[in-house]
């Protein structure tokens, strides 16, 4: 294996400790150990989301007496944890989803990584895990992406999915006692893994179907829906299986009659106005909604159309009016009955934009207008423009961060 390091390191511990504080995460001290057995990259047509991992990962640990360890970039492999670690018993685990893209100019880019870092910082704080310098994490991720550059397919629509994760690792043994006490984890592990990703939908952007579910809720006022915590996802698995058995692809999560999210994605609808403009509405960030990076990007791009940019696919003369406000199932039924419901779609990192073709509710389907088996004009416009920004074909307000 090839080993490179920056700074003075002894057994992964800084040789000098700051006099006034614990060590923060320091990207300048990173130790890099390259694999001596690189994996064979699978054919592009065989890539499925999240099923193949790259050669290397980032790892750093936090101890309450010393702070964050020297970060390492090392060969991908298992991690060793105490069976009583906090993450196993009390779900002290948070993560992010982000991507790196290869541009036509041969440069690799991250898409708005500062938003992912702001969100992981909030999530870490919500479950009382040790804080860290998120700017240092961006620097480390850029270094990792540069090392793993061969894994990024040089085709539009392909990318390198990046999964930063922080887990509580407080061990079960305190002196000579074993503890499973419900308390904040004062030890943690930060790691980042990567996976090459092809287009989310192999057969094209055919509309998906949603089953509106209210008896099981994904999030609730005062809960953790607005944080990217692992605990938010486990309880969604059974309702999803139930929806699939009824012939639907995903769940539209309700809180009472109020629409929140679609699966693990933010939800949008397009509604025709009396002045022939189009309202594009998504639920407001009321604490039950995850503040998605793609969600924020869609809202910003629509607000800029047509004054500062022209989105493709939008008919001439149609003004878009992006709105963040409550959507209820009664609203959807009424808009459908009135013939004003033009589109529904979900947005997120993995798929970018996913058209919705029908929504099951109270034993009936709300059917969204058909666009020859594909997305409607707003969903298609947002997908195309965001993809153009991500791979560097369009420059837009500093949203792309070049890795090297």
User: DSSP string of 56-104?
Assistant: EEEEEEEETTTEEPPPEEEE-------TT-HHHHH--EEE--EEEEE-T
% pLDDT > 90, the chain: 83
pLDDT greater than 90 at residue 45:
no
Question: How far apart (Å, rounded) are the C-alpha atoms in residues 137 and 325?
Answer: 34
Question: Is residue 401 in some structural domain?
Answer: no
Kindly indicate the confidence band of residue 209, based on its pLDDT and cuts at 50, 70 and 90: very high
Given a cut of 80, whether residue 43 has pLDDT beyond it is: yes
Specify whether 192 is located in the same domain as 217. Answer: no
Q: How many CB atoms lie within 10 A of CB 98?
A: 24
Domain presence at residue 202: no
The pLDDT of 247-273, averaged and rounded, is: 97
Is residue 12 over pLDDT 60? Answer: no
Could you give the angle at the alpha carbon of 177 between the alpha carbons of 176 and 180, nearest 5°? 150
Q: What are 374's two structure tokens?
A: 């594909």
Q: What is the reported pLDDT for 175?
A: 44
182, part of any domain: yes
Does the structure show a pLDDT above 70 at 334?
yes
> What is the Cα–Cα distance from 183 to 186, expressed in whole angstroms?
9
Residue 137 is predicted with a pLDDT of: 98
8 and 144 within one domain: yes
Verify that 236 and 174 share a domain, yes or no: no
Same domain, 15 and 161: yes
Cβ distance 58 to 144 under 8 Å? yes
Which pLDDT belongs to residue 179? 61
Are residues 193 and 228 part of one domain? no
Q: Is residue 397 part of a domain?
A: no
Are 171 and 306 part of one and the same domain? no
User: Residue 285 — φ and ψ, nearest 5°?
Assistant: -80, 85
Tokens 């700017």 label which residue?
135
Using pLDDT thresholds of 50, 70 and 90, give the confidence band for residue 200. confident
Tell me the C-alpha distance between 365 and 363, whole Å: 7
Whether residue 404 is contained in a domain is answered as no
Q: Which pLDDT band, with edges at 50, 70 and 90, does 8 fall under?
A: very low
CATH number at residue 286: 3.20.10.10
Spatial distance between the Cα atoms of 304 and 325, rounded to a whole number of angstroms: 19
Question: Which domain covers residue 354, as residue numbers?
Answer: 208-392
Whether residues 289 and 178 fall in one domain: no
Domain end, chosen from 177, 197, 217, is at 197
- Residue 172's pLDDT is 58
For the chain, the domain total comes to: 2
Is 356 a domain residue?
yes
Average pLDDT of 201-208?
A: 76
Hey, is 299 helix, strand or coil? helix
**In this structure, are residues 41 and 150 in contact, taking their beta carbons and an 8 Å threshold?**
yes
Residue 245 CB contacts under 8 Å (≥ 6 apart), including other chains: none
Between 352 and 205, residue with greater pLDDT: 352
Last residue of a domain, one of 169, 197, 225: 197
Which stretches of 129-180 are assigned E, i.e. beta strand? 159-168, 173-174, 177-178
Residue 332: what are its φ and ψ, rounded to 5°? -60, -45
Q: How far is the C-alpha of 236 from the C-alpha of 215, rounded, in Å?
A: 12
Q: Residue 315's Cα: distance from chain center in Å? A: 31
pLDDT at 392: 93
How far is Cα 292 from Cα 295, in angstroms, rounded to an integer? 5
From 147, 169, 197, the end of a domain falls on: 197
What is each CA distance from 290 to 29, 80, 224, 228, 329, in whole angstroms? 33, 31, 9, 7, 20
- Residue 203 counted as domain residue: no
Please say if the pLDDT value at position 177 is more than 50: no
Q: Are both 323 and 213 inside the same structural domain?
A: yes
Output the domain CATH number for residue 84. Answer: 3.30.470.10
Is residue 201 within 8 A of residue 351, CB to CB? The reply is yes
How does DSSP assign 16-69, residue by residue? Answer: S--SSSPBPP-GGG-EEEE-SSPPPPPPGGG--TTS---SEEEEEEEETTTEEP
Q: Which residue do the tokens 């939800």 mark?
A: 267
User: Domain for residue 188, yes or no?
Assistant: yes
Instruction: Mention every residue, 6+ apart, whose C-beta is less than 8 A from residue 65.
Output: 22
Q: Do 238 and 179 lie in a common domain? A: no
Residues 348, 253 share a domain: yes
Lowest mean pLDDT among 48-62, 108-122, 260-274, 292-306: 48-62
Residues 125 and 16 in one domain: yes
191/223 same-domain check = no
């Amino acid at each position: 294996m090839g080993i490179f390091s920056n700074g003075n390191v002894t057994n992964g511990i800084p040789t000098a400790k700051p006099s006034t504080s614990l060590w923060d995460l320091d990207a300048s001290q990173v130790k890099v150990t390259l694999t001596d057995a690189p994996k064979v990259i699978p054919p592009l047509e065989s890539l499925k989301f999240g099923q193949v991992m790259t050669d290397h990962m980032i790892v750093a640990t936090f101890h309450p007496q010393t702070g964050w360890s020297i970060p390492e970039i090392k060969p991908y492999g298992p991690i060793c944890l105490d069976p009583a670690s906090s993450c196993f018993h009390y779900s002290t685990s948070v993560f992010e989803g982000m991507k790196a893209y290869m541009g036509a100019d041969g440069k690799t880019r991250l898409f708005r990584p500062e938003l992912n870092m702001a969100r992981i910082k909030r999530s870490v704080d919500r479950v009382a895990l040790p804080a860290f310098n998120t700017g240092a994490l961006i620097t480390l991720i850029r270094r990792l992406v540069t090392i793993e550059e061969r894994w990024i397919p040089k085709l539009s629509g392909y990318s390198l999915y990046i999964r930063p994760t922080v887990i509580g690792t407080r061990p079960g043994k305190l002196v000579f006692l074993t503890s499973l006490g419900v308390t904040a984890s004062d030890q943690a592990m930060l790691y980042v893994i990567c996976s090459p990703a092809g287009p989310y939908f192999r057969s094209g952007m055919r509309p998906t179907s949603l089953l509106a579910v209210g008896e099981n809720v994904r999030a609730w006022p005062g809960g953790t829906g607005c944080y990217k915590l692992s605990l938010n996802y486990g309880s969604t698995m059974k309702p999803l299986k139930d929806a699939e058995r009824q012939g639907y692809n995903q769940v539209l999560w309700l809180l009472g009659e109020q629409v929140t999210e679609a699966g693990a994605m933010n939800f949008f609808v397009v509604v025709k106005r009396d002045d022939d403009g189009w309202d594009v509405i998504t639920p407001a960030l009321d604490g039950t909604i995850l503040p998605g990076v793609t969600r924020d990007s869609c809202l910003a791009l629509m607000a800029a159309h047509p004054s500062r940019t022209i989105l493709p696919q939008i008919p001439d003369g149609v003004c878009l009016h992006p709105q963040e406000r409550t959507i209820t199932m009664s609203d959807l039924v009424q808009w459908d009955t009135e013939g004003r419901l033009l589109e529904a779609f979900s947005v997120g990192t993995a798929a970018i934009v996913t058209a919705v073709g029908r929504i099951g509710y109270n034993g009936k389907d709300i059917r969204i207008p058909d666009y020859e088996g594909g997305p409607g004009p707003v969903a298609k416009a947002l997908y195309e423009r965001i993809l153009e920004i991500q791979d560097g074909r369009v420059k837009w307000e500093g949203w792309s961060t070049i890795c090297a």
